[in-house]
Structure 1
């Protein structure tokens, strides 16, 4: 792995233009948690394939990060108006707060509707956004604003009710699989398969055999994690809650040892009073494969 200017790049020589590479790449648009952090946006991951961006979760600050990726890293598909596909793991706030931002940003310049895939409740959430932006939408449709496609003010929503393939087109296949995240009846991880990469995104989950199965021999596994050293200092009731909803470092190390991904990427790190680096150190103690602690705007190939 080569790290430069805050960006992690695997398999890419320094000085090579990102946009000149046709291979699949992953851009970390947000690596944070519900805890406010000025250095980390809420959860958000983009898979770039064939000049299209496929975005997974859209927490607070993710659209600003996408704009930065388009402007600073020359990844044009991540300009918000170019993002046509959004996949939601579940509807916790730190995974969806920038959904109105994505839907509302320059919608009048969109050619196509934003296609959104998510669990039950995604349509109702979308309707709430339409209500919130109703005056904006009505005004832009009535005044002299040049609107490319009036329907682009609204998302094309598909609610996922069962695991399996939810999207397949032009060489990319995206499969949803169930994960265990507290009391969410429907929370999903995603497996993305392109001609050159298999990428698995855990979403928020406690330790889960289905994640292990999906991630077996994956090129990249992107997984949430809890710092054990931070967790053990919590009151017992908070220890019980967080272990019920999330994955401890030793548990993730066991999963990675079984699944053997080529690269394990840590994000959505809950570390409490411990340094965030403790999560990486703890996973590395029990797992000798390639593992990295992701920052916002890291790029992986």
Structure 2
């Protein structure tokens, strides 16, 4: 089981950290978690492509987590995908997907008529809305949806991938969440968001103290995420979805290490974790983790 961080950013625009998205490879299948800005480019950078995605799992319907869904659908069609796009997500996913395709229908109809491609199967959507505790099975692999605490968003999930040998948990966006901690118990890797509150300063005309307080309230603070990993007994903590996208890495590492003694990875786009070899690759670096 391999995890590649495709995008580790947030709504802030960054050329280093694209929008939230992760790729989980299991056997010869590719599963996409969220669909933030630049996801199709990052998929190619990770050696994959939209046409190879077995299923997309949306954590919630905030724009930064699904803004490139239409790009994924159309680029997969251009790449020769031969099956519908399978999408899992919270309540509201069906309506969103239908509205998205309706919005683009005139443009898409013109493309189909003019380009004369051999199939339009890739443009069909197979959407399933999940509830807390639902389990999707694919052979030995199970994917469990865990309701997380992202209020006032009332439908938001983390996901746990488990094949009986290895387990990887994705937090999605959440405040401190005991339910996620329980579901992620003993995971080979906990991929968790991180709100670095000491770096979020008030900017006149952009954000004030109330804005910062409200955004922080539905994310996990950098001073909390180490506790989450410790309580989950995670074998490795992989931090992603950073708010803000520019921060002092060493200070963040010190904050997390104060509560968690295991390996901590400050995620970067296209960083890859392999649960079998217990290794990390990023660009030309290869790093071994404790077995």
TM-score (norm 2): 0.86
Aligned equivalent of 1:201 = 170
Structure 1 gap ranges (5+): 1-23, 71-77
Aligned equivalent of 2:139 = 170
1:157 aligned to 2:127? yes
Q: Which runs of 4+ in 1 moved over 6 A?
A: none
Equivalent position to 1:47, from 24, 30, 36: 24
1:288 aligned to 2:261? yes
- In 1, distance between residues paired with 2:110 and 2:103? 13
Following superposition of structure 1 onto structure 2, how do residues 233-252 of structure 1 map, counting pairs within 5 Å? 233-234=201-202, 236-252=209-225
8 Å CA contact retained: 1:90, 1:188:
yes
Q: Which has the higher helix share?
A: 1
Residues 153-181 of structure 1: CA distance to partner in whole angstroms, max 9, x if unpaired? 12110111x21234101211101011111
- In 1, distance between residues paired with 2:239 and 2:90? 24
Residues 1:192 and 1:136: Cα distance change in structure 2 (over 3 Å): same
Tell me the CA shift for residue 276 of structure 1: 4.6
- In 1, distance between residues paired with 2:232 and 2:167? 13
Structure 2 gap ranges (5+): 203-207, 275-291
Residues 220-250 of structure 1: CA distance to partner in whole angstroms, max 9, x if unpaired? 100011224324x555423421331111122
- In 1, distance between residues paired with 2:191 and 2:245? 20
Equivalent position to 2:55, from 60, 72, 85: 85
Tell me the CA shift for residue 268 of structure 1: 0.9
Tell me the CA shift for residue 274 of structure 1: 4.3
TM-score (norm 1): 0.83
Aligned equivalent of 1:5 = none
Residues 21-79 of structure 1: CA distance to partner in whole angstroms, max 9, x if unpaired? xxx10011110011111101110011101211110001001111001112xxxxxxx21
- In 2, distance between residues paired with 1:193 and 1:97? 28
Aligned equivalent of 1:15 = none
8 Å CA contact retained: 1:137, 1:153:
no
Question: What SS is found at the alignment partner of 1:248?
Answer: coil
Tell me the CA shift for residue 209 of structure 1: 0.6
8 Å CA contact retained: 2:10, 2:245:
no
Aligned equivalent of 1:190 = 159
8 Å CA contact retained: 2:73, 2:123:
yes
Aligned equivalent of 2:38 = 61
- In 1, distance between residues paired with 2:138 and 2:70? 26
8 Å CA contact retained: 1:220, 1:265:
yes
Cα RMSD, aligned residues only: 1.9
- In 2, distance between residues paired with 1:257 and 1:146? 52
Question: What SS is found at the alignment partner of 2:224?
Answer: helix
8 Å CA contact retained: 1:226, 1:279:
no
- In 1, distance between residues paired with 2:36 and 2:269? 12
- In 2, distance between residues paired with 1:68 and 1:80? 12
Question: What SS is found at the alignment partner of 2:251?
Answer: helix
Aligned equivalent of 2:77 = 107
8 Å CA contact retained: 2:189, 2:238:
yes
Aligned equivalent of 2:101 = 130
8 Å CA contact retained: 1:266, 1:294:
yes
